[in-house]
A and B are shown apart, each in its own frame.
Chain A
């Protein structure tokens, strides 16, 4: 039943059957059909860029999560779980849940009341044009670069796993995303993201179910991993007292303050790629409930990402190695653990579904980048800086063309990365340079009315510069990591955490100092933008169990219980 594909190379990990190919083709046909169906509903700016602001809490919440659930995320963190053990779960729990709840209950009301189209748009309202220009230009630039890098990385994965030609993977997936986003705008992207969310779960959930069956349950799995590797591979918190007592080379300060308080807050509350989905919610209750629904599901994503990596430690007959070693020896790397587990348990049909889940994950991430780029370009760069008096129809047309052009730039970036592979590491650091200081700027803007326009601008700029400087310092002199992460035992991931923490602090300090030295805006101009000067709408006329605060409480309880269980 296995059929040869025209683009196959001999080193692939898995072979697709006819039914697998049919499932993949059906997926592409369905996402394109959704794009064509929604074309007629994307005629105004609000429709195209904000999905008409009529999404329910469930649709916005699942889309919010799905935009983050990219294929590289799935495979990368499964590989990290194989490399570092259960510690990788921190990126899904403390590195996500508090930030998602903070977005829902504290920040979302300001985004929603201000009726902004984007995060840079909020900065314009709060701090003025200079702060918006810095954030919009850096965001647009990084988004297309990241999209291209991810596209290349995914094509590379498809080459290794399926033997598909890199050009084939890049062009087919990129053009499909370009078509359905250009036709239906954000609504089309959101609809497809929700579809992709279901496919990802349907395609990936069988691995932990069958894996736990094979391993003899969670208890036996822990015993096996402890026997083969170390006890610290199956404990979340008990080994993070010091950098040298856990496989990740990080301590609890980096995890709690660097990851939990800065990086995740920055990503989940100010990265427009995910926030845009919530801005499309139909009312304030839906906008608050959407991140809470996302948080509820996020807590269980480790089932399909981290658990397969842990199962790989216990049941795979081969030992996986770092990517750099695999490239030299021709062996299999940590990042191959998810496809290997897929091939281990999934026969014809299920394998196609699992591969479709990976493709869907990649396309949802790319669509997220493209729609965010299109909105920021049109509303925060093109309209204020180049053409402020055009009609709504003109901006929609600009949005459609920007979608196509953004995808083409991403494709160009993918080919550029293919020629100069070493640049990939640099580009992947771009977001970490930007996101922590941006969180500092937005947070002060929302919570401190004394923050001024120049304070916001210089704080953001100095935060970004400090982040880049710290990264460059360690790049030039690796021993500097002991100063940046406060320990000679710190490893790479600890650098990211502490780099974010310092750049956030620099941003906050500079913003405060400059604000105190410059003239603040009158209170009247800050109404609807700052805490204390804004009447926060409350969710009335619903039962207690329908209120966002209640469900946030439920999520918090489950969050603590999970952390204690896996302590």
Chain B
């Protein structure tokens, strides 16, 4: 049975990658209306953090490795 933690890893990985890409895109194409603290580029580091965490979960709990 696929572990619940694998599904969570998938969710963090995919969402993190999308947010990271959106953040990087915004660096080259700044929006017309910037959010507050735009200069911190939260999308980039938060997206990277989620991607990393998601990747760890996906690898650690990939199907056939460990029971939930």
Contact = CB atoms under 8 A, between A and B. Distances in A.
Interface of chain B, helix or strand or loop or mixed?
helix
B36 A26 contact: no
A34 interface: yes
Contacts of A198: 8, 11-12
A27 B23 CA distance: 20
Nearest to A190: B4
Given A198-B12, A353-B19, A347 B36 contact: no
Contacts of B2: 37
Contacts of B46: 206, 350
A401 interface: no
Interface of chain A, helix or strand or loop or mixed?
helix
B59 interface: no
A346 B38 CA distance: 9
A59 interface: yes
Nearest to A205: B46
Given A59-B68, A202-B50, A347-B26, A210 B14 contact: no
A185 to B, nearest CB: 15
Interface in A169-224: 191, 194-195, 198-199, 202, 206, 210, 213-214
Contacts of A56: 68
B7 A26 contact: no
B42 A19 contact: no
B18 A19 contact: yes
A345 B36 contact: yes
Contacts of B20: 349
Contacts of A350: 19, 22, 42-43, 46-47
A128 interface: no
B49 to A, nearest CB: 9
Contacts of A346: 35, 42
B55 to A, nearest CB: 14
B40 A210 contact: yes
A23 interface: yes
Nearest to B19: A349
A27 to B, nearest CB: 8
Contacts of A343: 35
B36 to A, nearest CB: 5
Contact of A194 (B8, B14, B31, B36): B8
Given A56-B68, A353-B19, A347 B8 contact: no
Contacts of A195: 4, 7-8, 11
B58 interface: no
A336 B61 CA distance: 38
Given A213-B40, A350-B46, A344 B35 contact: yes
Nearest to B49: A202
B20 to A, nearest CB: 8
Interface in A310-363: 343-350, 352-353, 356
B38 to A, nearest CB: 7
A26 B42 CA distance: 21
A303 to B, nearest CB: 15
A19 B22 contact: yes
Nearest to B23: A349
Contact of A345 (B1, B15, B35): B35
Contact of A214 (B18, B34, B36): B36
A214 B31 CA distance: 20
B26 to A, nearest CB: 6
Given A195-B11, A347-B31, A350-B42, A210 B37 contact: yes
B35 A347 contact: yes
Nearest to A346: B35
A554 B29 CA distance: 49
A26 B35 contact: no
Interface string A45-60: 0000000000010010
Interface centre among B21, B34, B35, B68 (most CB of A within 10 A): B35
Contacts of A34: 7
Interface centre among B1, B40, B46, B50 (most CB of A within 10 A): B46
Given A210-B42, A347-B22, A349-B47, A202 B37 contact: no
A41 interface: yes
A546 to B, nearest CB: 19
Contacts of B37: 210, 213-214, 345
Interface in A26-72: 26-27, 30, 34, 37, 41, 56, 59
**What are the 8 closest A-B residue pairs judged by CB atoms, nearest first?**
A349-B22, A349-B19, A19-B22, A348-B22, A347-B35, A191-B4, A344-B36, A198-B8
Given A22-B18, A59-B68, A349-B47, 18 more contacts: A19-B18, A23-B18, A26-B15, A26-B18, A34-B7, A37-B2, A194-B4, A198-B12, A199-B11, A210-B42, A214-B37, A345-B36, A347-B26, A347-B42, A348-B22, A349-B18, A349-B19, A352-B18
16 contacts: A22-B18, A23-B15, A23-B19, A26-B14, A26-B18, A30-B11, A56-B68, A195-B8, A199-B11, A202-B12, A206-B42, A348-B26, A349-B22, A350-B46, A352-B19, A353-B19
Interface of A: 1, 17, 19, 22-23, 26-27, 30, 34, 37, 41, 56, 59, 191, 194-195, 198-199, 202, 206, 210, 213-214, 343-350, 352-353, 356
Interface of B: 1-2, 4, 7-8, 10-12, 14-15, 18-23, 26, 31, 34-38, 40, 42-43, 46-47, 50, 68
